[in-house]
Amino acid sequence: MRALKHGTMRAHVALALAALVLTGDALQPALAGGFNYKDALTKTIIFLEAQRSGKLPPNNRVKWRGDSGLEDGKLANVDLTGGYYDAGDNVKYGLPLAFTVTTLAWTALAFKPELRSAKELDHVYEAIRWGTDYLLKCAARKKKLWVQVGDPNLDHQCWVRPENMKAPRTLYEIDEKTPGTEIAAETAAAFAASSMVFRHDKAYSRALLNKAKLLFLFAKSHQGSYDGECPFYCSYSGFNDELLWAATWLYLATKRQVYADFITHEAISSSVAEFSWDLKFPGAQVLLAEFNMTSGGGAQNFKTQADNFVCAVLPDTAFHQVYITPGGVIHLRDGANTQYVTSTAFLFVVYSDLLLRTGQDVMCGNQPIRPERLREFARQQMDYLLGANPRSSSYVVGFGANSPTQPHHRGASTPVLPPGYDVNCGLSFGEWFAPDRPNPNELTGAIMGGPDKDDKFVDKRANSSYTEPCTYINSLAIGPLAALAERGPKLVATH
């Protein structure tokens, strides 16, 4: 069964990123870590293509995947085809899907030169649009949002690839009577961030931004947590982080004072030690850190809170909170723990670029932390996933030494079957889930959930807390890998 995954908790748009420093052939392994970051980057993006639902395009690079979920939405006479399966099963969950899109859009904005140099920018654009096209369908009606396709309890009774799934494609929605502030606000953030990515397509960008505005207003006006995605995606942190996150992206996309006013006078912010699909505070704080804006009536300074996130993570500060394994990787909890590894690496690289651009340090009390330290830690975290760990093994499928062969993933672990093949659900687990053998299809670029707190990892698909990949692990890995591939291991950029 799939792992339970949960969380704990007027200026210019300053996302201009550095020009890159290229040394040598980008296709050669980077010397410091000995890793081919360009190859890792490419494969990390390919994994997202393996998670696509709907009718696949002719340029589909994952040849063992086929069309799936072609009748999604039919139960309500709507078209909800497309989008992404979040992990190893066949359900489309709105909250992690929208967060995947938001972070992909941020990646495209923050690492555009690096992605273009690596010839991956178009692939990232395609990945974003695969998500936004679907989310636009979900948000087609005002004050209503389709937030999930598929009943996870029924889905989990059959180990079957999405092309041959049999469970009813149950539909879930939020509206004025059934609010879901977290999902509405996260989807607004995804639309707002993506509208900035697609400004070259004015009509599409405008459509995204208009939906973002409407969904933010809906989220703010009809407040309440939606628990329909529990126990798989319970928002333990509440919805204040999503409201701040969405307002931040809308402010960056529009520069309108109404969103600045919400951020400074209405939004609630907090210092936390985690950035994830459930907890967005550090992401918003990093985005707002240079705008001299505050929240809570001036009590909360976003630069200070972004610093607090860094201070809580780095092991060499007096404010360190986050557990680091003996091998040197972040460990917050079992169950897709590598999402915190890639999210931290992402924020550290983005924040270090901002600090260098503005000539600032992180302040941990009276202790200044130079931006270079953030970059060093980010590289260490990514190198751990690529093989610089006590096991000397990669956590990325199809990359590096001794990479995983049994991801907890239905499509990868099930052989390609003819369309319409009638799978015997009672026998499916014995045939394809239980056997101790490599998956017949390589889930290229999938980043495993990772090791336990002692750096131990067992490559078995039944070990789902450690072997199940997720779209949002990969969406946040793309930026750091692009920086490593194009700037070099020290992540040095010029301005």
Catalytic residues, by residue number, are 408
Stated as kind and residue range, the H or E segment containing 204 is: helix 202-221
DSSP reduced 3-state for 231 = coil
Cβ(450)–Cβ(466) under 8 Å? yes
Helices 478-487 and 371-386: angle between axes, nearest 10 degrees:
100
- Residue whose pair of structure tokens reads 């009943």 in the numeric block: 151
- Read off φ and ψ for residue 474, nearest 5 degrees: -75, -40
Using CA atoms, how far residue 296 sits from 244, 260, 302, 308, in Å, is 11, 13, 11, 17
Give the β-pairing of 171-175 and 144-149.
antiparallel
Nearest Cα neighbor of 470 from 156, 47, 7 is 47
Tokens of 122: 């178009």
Cβ(274)–Cβ(319) under 8 Å? no
DSSP 441: S
Cβ(481)–Cβ(40) under 8 Å? yes
Tokens of 423: 């799978």
Tokens of 455: 């750096």
Using CA atoms, how far residue 151 sits from 167, 170, 328, 361, 441, in Å, is 8, 6, 38, 48, 25
Angstrom distance (rounded) from CA 489 to CA 24 = 13
Cβ(149)–Cβ(72) under 8 Å? yes
Tokens of 30: 């980077």
CB-neighbour burial class of residue 370 (10 A; exposed 0-12, middle 13-18, buried 19+): middle
Angstrom distance (rounded) from CA 220 to CA 243 = 7
Using CA atoms, how far residue 96 sits from 179, 392, 492, in Å, is 17, 31, 31
The letter for the amino acid at 490 is K
